[in-house]
Amino acid sequence: MSAKSANRRVRLLLAVFVLAFAIAFMRAAWLQVVRAGSFGRLATSQQSEVVTVPAARGTIYDRSGVQLAIGVQATTVYADPRLVRDPLKEAETASRILRLGPNKLSTALGDRSRGFVYVERKADPARAARLARMRLPGFGYYPEERRFYPQSALAAQVLGYAGVDNQGLAGLELSLNKVLAGRPGRERIVKDASGQVIDTIQSQAEHDGRDVHLTLDHTIQANAQVVLKQTVARWHAKSATAIVLDPRTGAVLAMAVAPSFDANSFPLVWREFQRNRAVTDTYEPGSTFKLVTVAGVLSDHVVTPMTRFTLPYSIHVADRVIHDAEPRGTETMSVAQILARSSNVGAITLAEKLRPHRLAAWINRFGFGKRTGIDYPGESPGIVLPVNRWSGSTIGNVPIGQGISVTPIQMASAYAAVANRGMWVRPHLVDHVGDERPVVPRRHRIISRGVAAQVLAMLKNVVLDGTGTLAAVPGYQVAGKTGTAAKVDPDGTYSTSRYVASFIGIVPASRPRLVILVSVDEPKGAIWGGVVAAPAFSQIAQFDLQYLDGGITPDAPSTLDSTPTPYSP
């Protein structure tokens, strides 16, 4: 080989080396200048990670301090797939210890495009600790809490539930979410090259949620639920609702719905069972609504309790003929007897004397057609037709509780106003939050003390010798009213087989402490409020009167001939 040829080859090889060096230099410059930021962020993410630290959710207590909703310790397990060495093996290990399905987990751990995946949210702390001791590469852990309802089915529809992120999704958990949830914190987790945590730096401390104390009494609530369950079973009913209310303060001591369910299974429960019917559902009240008509005519001085009317069995109102529930001849009845015997013809006769605009005014004054303002989400205002849309027959429907829809809490509040000497008090479920003072509910007068006393006296007659005799409570005076209302069928006509039976009572009637509402939806075998709902009222009232304050002194001791069966929660 000539020297000239050798020199040419050396120069060519040198040129190749120079070109390779130039390419390497340009690549290094591009990585260090152009891609430096993104690679820096990638390196940082592999060495440290910002994690949100959830705040502890506040506890919900009943009025005596019994826990109704609490947070229990849990551990959330997560992983960084980019640091997982053997996705299949690590998924198998984690699944065995945490009792998970391995297939889905192995897929998640093998996805290197992701820097964070949940292995299990809110895992059992003991199992998570056992897994942590395995020191699997790429796995991380942080404490979290899981919402738990220690009383199971107690007030399930009222409490609602909080989801996996500890945010309220229904019921009081939803309406009180801002108070209960608190504020989450943040912390930076520093890891070594193998992905193991070597330090935790807090950047923002979490602030735990505040506790909430309700007006509910867990013993009164539990007893009401037991009675409702028995009532639904006895009458093969679709559902039943009960409210126990303190008329002096507006405090709801019990708000029960049957069927009920375990609150810890809330997300899996049929939506039909989840509703708190006492607040969200409406129904035609039937004869319990006659209270409004009677209070109106007395307040407007149209009649007195002893004013008498000659009443036929039926009455024509525009194009309708309305009759009393039980066949009878023409009779003379006083206003008090009209209420005690629940005469439809009598109630319509009183309403016609009151006239539509005044009756509509009293309906509004008692709070129907608008929300009570109870501290529970989704309250319905009911359905009240404006007086300018009334037809000629409306004055025959509305006074007897037809053509108008109300909620159970509206009806209970109306009767509570009579029990509270004419003063309406906003019903409420929250007594106080944290260390704050108890809630002072809004109140206003709707009828005078005198009219309230007159109506209360007439309501006593309903139980003494009227339609509500089965609501009697041994040892106590009871004032109340029965209601039986046909439901509307899909074709817009009143059903001949579907009814709502109800009773609303006040005890002790001489010095009221409780207003108790019971409504039973679609009972079978009997439809009358005095037969279906009144006995349930009596059971609830007997227990509550013996339980409250160690026992409320009887105001009719001469009738004390039996003792209520104690309830053991």
What are the residue numbers of the active site?
A: 287
3-class DSSP state of 509: coil
Place of tokens 């820097």: 115
Cα Rg of the chain (Å, integer)? 35
Compute the distance between CA of residue 317 and CA of residue 391 in angstroms, rounded to an integer.
10
Compute the distance between CA of residue 213 and CA of residue 433 in angstroms, rounded to an integer.
6
Compute the distance between CA of residue 521 and CA of residue 505 in angstroms, rounded to an integer.
18
Amino acid symbol at 266? F
Instruction: Single out the residue of 513, 524, 526, 443 nearest to residue 482, CA to CA.
Output: 526
Name the burial class of residue 76, with classes exposed (0-12), middle (13-18) and buried (19+) by CB atoms within 10 angstroms of its CB.
buried
Q: What are the distances in angstroms from CA 277 to CA 126, 232, 415, 442, 484?
A: 40, 15, 18, 23, 18
DSSP assignment of 169-189: EEHHHHHTHHHHH-B-EEEEE
Of the CA atoms within 13 Å of residue 13, those in its CB half-sphere come to: 6
Compute the distance between CA of residue 447 and CA of residue 298 in angstroms, rounded to an integer.
10
Instruction: Single out the residue of 450, 395, 381 nearest to residue 422, CA to CA.
Output: 450
The length of the chain, given as a count of residues: 569
Compute the distance between CA of residue 416 and CA of residue 420 in angstroms, rounded to an integer.
6
Place of tokens 């735990």: 208
Compute the distance between CA of residue 480 and CA of residue 502 in angstroms, rounded to an integer.
11
Is residue 469 within 8 Å of 516, Cβ to Cβ? no
Instruction: Single out the residue of 345, 558, 339, 556 nearest to residue 462, CA to CA.
Output: 339
CA triple 72-73-74, angle to 5 deg: 120
User: What tokens does 546 get?
Assistant: 């013996």
Compute the distance between CA of residue 225 and CA of residue 239 in angstroms, rounded to an integer.
12
Name the burial class of residue 18, with classes exposed (0-12), middle (13-18) and buried (19+) by CB atoms within 10 angstroms of its CB.
exposed
Is residue 481 within 8 Å of 288, Cβ to Cβ? yes
User: What tokens does 215 get?
Assistant: 């007006």
Neighbours of 265 (CB within 10 A): 13
Compute the distance between CA of residue 547 and CA of residue 219 in angstroms, rounded to an integer.
9
Helix (H) or strand (E) holding 350: helix 344-354
Is residue 188 within 8 Å of 410, Cβ to Cβ? no
